């Protein structure tokens, strides 16, 4: 009997390992589905309040990895006037951890974003600083498992749970729906430290951009607050040259690339 139980436990451990490996492979396929040296975007960010009122912001976003594989991104607010000239830089290290800075014209100086602020609201939106970096989050930082398979948006999807290895991350787990046929990500649920569902991210409107099927709309809803922020991609360009000087605090301060 002891041998049978031991064999069963070993078999189940093997199944669990295979599930984890398959889940990791699926997530990596979804994350790496689009490849490019650089990405340039112009987007409209629509913030919806609980009472139904909305405010709109126009932003430019530039992304380019450095030679060490660090994911770098700059966001520049163009309008309205009260946020125009605000610039944000994040550099995500593949081994974990991010360096983030923001330039606020009203203060006339750069402020570093501390690790304790990573779960805070990004410029009054439903996105946190961590949410901004979610798609560039290294897969090695989480443990993955396939919860089930089900249909979403008329497509058969893998439903995958990710649990951060580091307890300092703002979410205790994330559950993501990934299309089985093309690895499109359609939805993510984010849970706080008490395992309560706090946010839902919906990704939609996939279109062909330079031969790459690209999501043109991303919406994050904060359930308790009854608010949401939707990003509409108006322009996306892949592989356009972006000077490395854009991804520096000097650029944040001056708005000029050398």
Strand partners, 203: 218
The stretch 160-164 carries a mean pLDDT of: 96
Tens digits of residue pLDDT in 14-28: 444 446 669 999 999
The stretch 3-17 carries a mean pLDDT of: 44
Residue 13: pLDDT above 60? no
C-alpha pair distances (Å), 120 with each of 62, 128, 132, 167, 225: 22, 5, 11, 17, 14
Residue 98: pLDDT above 90? no
Residue 174: Cβ within 10 Å count: 21
**pLDDT for the residue 20:** 62
**pLDDT for the residue 83:** 94
Residue 48: pLDDT above 90? yes
> H-helix or E-strand containing 249?
helix 249-254
Tens digits of residue pLDDT in 141-153: 899 999 999 999 8
Assign domain 13-254 to its CATH architecture: Clam (2.50)
Q: CA geometry: angle at 102 spanning 96 and 104, to 5°?
A: 170
Output the six-digit token pair for 71: 């994911």
DSSP 201: E
Q: How far apart are the first and last CA of the chain?
A: 73
Q: CA geometry: angle at 36 spanning 35 and 40, to 5°?
A: 125
3-state SS of 1-67? CHHHHHHHHHHHHHHHHHHHHHHHHHHHHHHCCCCCCEEEEEEEEEEECCCCCEEEEEEEEEEECCC
Tens digits of residue pLDDT in 51-74: 999 999 999 999 999 988 889 999
Residue 1: pLDDT above 90? no
Tens digits of residue pLDDT in 197-238: 999 999 999 999 999 999 999 999 999 999 999 999 999 999
**pLDDT for the residue 115:** 81
């Amino acid at each position: 009997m002891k041998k049978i139980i031991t064999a069963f436990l070993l078999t189940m451990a093997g199944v669990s390992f295979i599930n984890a490996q398959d889940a990791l492979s699926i997530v990596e396929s979804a994350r790496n589905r689009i490849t490019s040296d650089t990405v340039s975007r112009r987007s409209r960010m629509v913030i919806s309040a609980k009472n139904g009122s909305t405010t709109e912001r126009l932003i430019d976003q530039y992304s380019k990895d450095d030679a060490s594989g660090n994911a770098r991104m700059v966001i520049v607010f163009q309008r309205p006037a009260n946020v125009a000239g605000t610039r944000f830089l994040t550099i995500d290290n593949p081994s974990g951890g991010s360096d983030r800075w923001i330039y606020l014209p009203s203060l006339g100086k750069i402020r570093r974003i501390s690790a304790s602020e990573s779960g805070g609201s990004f410029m009054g939106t439903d996105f946190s600083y961590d949410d901004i970096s979610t798609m560039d989050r290294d897969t090695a930082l989480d443990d993955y498992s396939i919860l089930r398979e089900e249909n979403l948006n008329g497509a058969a999807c893998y439903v995958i749970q990710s649990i951060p290895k580091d307890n300092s991350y703002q979410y205790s787990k994330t559950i993501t729906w990934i299309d089985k046929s093309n690895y499109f990500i359609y939805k993510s649920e984010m849970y706080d430290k008490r395992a309560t569902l706090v946010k839902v991210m919906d990704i939609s409107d996939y279109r062909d951009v330079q031969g790459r099927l690209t999501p043109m709309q991303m919406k994050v809803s904060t359930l308790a607050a009854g608010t949401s922020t939707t990003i509409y991609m108006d322009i996306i360009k892949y592989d356009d040259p972006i000077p490395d000087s854009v991804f520096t605090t000097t650029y944040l301060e001056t708005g000029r690339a050398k």
